[in-house]
Amino acid sequence: MSELIPIKAFLGKYYTELNYSSIQDKYKNTKLDTFFEQRFFIQNNKAQMIVDPSITGLVAIISGNEIHISKELYDHPSIVITNSLENKSQNSNPRSLYNPEVFSTMAYLVCQNHTMFQIVGEVDEPIYLKYRSDYETFYNSVIIVEITGELEVEIIEEIESCSALNAVNNYILHPTSKLNLTTFYQNHISGISFFFRNIIAQNDSDFNHIVLGKGSSNIIDENKLQAHSQTKSEFLGVINSDGKKFHSILCVQPASEKYSVNVDYRDILSGNSDVTFFPVILGQEPDDSATITVSGVTLEEIPEEDREEEVKKYIDDIIDRATPERMVGVKRFYENKTKFLHFP
């Protein structure tokens, strides 16, 4: 029977540099350093990918090392799914991708099963990636999504943590490809989430991300964008703090002077909420455009009878943009959107 283990003890020799990582400026006010003393069941004996015929639609359910994939997704002719357990190369070392500058890359130390989704043809409905953790657990996962050229793909991330969840998602966009990504945070009150997206946007590609986030005890949503020539990237967000903590980080690493990146985050603040956004562009700012707008509205400052209408007006244009372009397989998307828009 597994025992609750302090993260500090579990990390061993890596604790010192991860503890140092947690006090970087970008993690300021996240209280990330307090995470090391917390105790969890560590998932270390479930490294498997299961094709589950009971799951309907293009869906993968990711519980740390254990991945359940719908038969429909696994058999799709335009999607090739593999994982590192099938890689017989003796030269493959998943820990080589660990970088203490990014706290969430701890997943490379814990999770030895990396799952890759290669999109090689047209997909006429959204792909759903659902992340979840059980109570008192600390789950880690590593996902790679690669989109070949001239394809437009829609992906929905669903994040539902009952305890501690850490995910690294690598999105690789080949030249002229396009990814429309939507993230729904629907964490339980005890949930802690660390989510890192490593986005490699090759020449003339488009990356669009909308995050609809409800605060839990702590969420750190971190994005690193490697922007190549003529790439366009947009990050939109509505963060309903629900009196909790939500921290967004964006690091842009230009590989060209000709790219654009636009950010518009709207925060709905209430109670003792703590919502932050930390942007940084390493090196050359783009010739085309780089706009970063972050604003907030505090519920307690609005008369109670006007709150619903005022909040709706404040977030309406972003919510309208959170609409899939596909007509098939979207019921699940709209169910997530309805849950998010329920402001108790």
Query: pLDDT for 298-330, tens place per residue?
Result: 999 999 999 989 999 999 999 999 999 999 999
Q: Is residue 122 situated within a structural domain?
A: yes
Here the contacts of 324-328 (C-beta below 8 Å, separation 24 or greater) are 324/126, 324/154, 324/180, 324/182, 325/152, 325/154, 325/180, 326/124, 326/125, 326/126, 326/154, 328/124, 328/125
What pLDDT does residue 145 have? 97
d(CA 340, CA 344): 10
177: left (phi over 0), alpha (psi -120 to 50) or beta: beta
> What percent of the chain is modeled with pLDDT above 70?
93
d(CA 207, CA 305): 38
The 10 Å Cβ neighbour count of residue 76 is 19
What pLDDT does residue 43 have? 74
* pLDDT of 177 over the 60 cut: yes
Q: Is residue 324 situated within a structural domain?
A: yes
What is the pLDDT of the chain when averaged over all its residues? 90
Q: Is residue 217 situated within a structural domain?
A: yes
d(CA 27, CA 35): 12
Tell me the sheet residues that pair with 247. 220, 276
Token representation of residue 40: 């969890």
Model confidence at 344, pLDDT cuts 50, 70, 90, reads low
Structural domain boundaries, residue 231: 77-338
Q: Which residue has the tokens 């402001």?
A: 343
Least confident of 82-86, 145-149, 161-165, 303-307: 82-86
Tell me the sheet residues that pair with 89. none
Rg of the chain over all Cα atoms, to the nearest angstrom = 19
Listed in sequence order, the residues at least 6 apart from 128 whose beta carbon sits closer than 8 Å to its beta carbon are 57, 58, 59, 60, 155, 156, 158, 332
Work out the average pLDDT over 266-284: 89
Q: Is residue 19 situated within a structural domain?
A: no
Model confidence at 79, pLDDT cuts 50, 70, 90, reads very high
d(CA 234, CA 292): 10
- The structure's pTM equals 0.95
Tens-place pLDDT, residues 26-69: 998 888 888 999 999 887 655 688 999 999 999 999 998 889 99
> For the chain, how many residues are written?
344
Q: Is residue 293 situated within a structural domain?
A: yes
As for how many domains the chain has, the answer is 1
Q: Is residue 343 situated within a structural domain?
A: no
Least confident of 60-69, 89-98, 109-118, 306-315: 89-98
What pLDDT does residue 2 have? 64
What pLDDT does residue 1 have? 44
Element (H, E) at 16: helix 15-21
Tens-place pLDDT, residues 11-26: 999 999 999 999 999 9
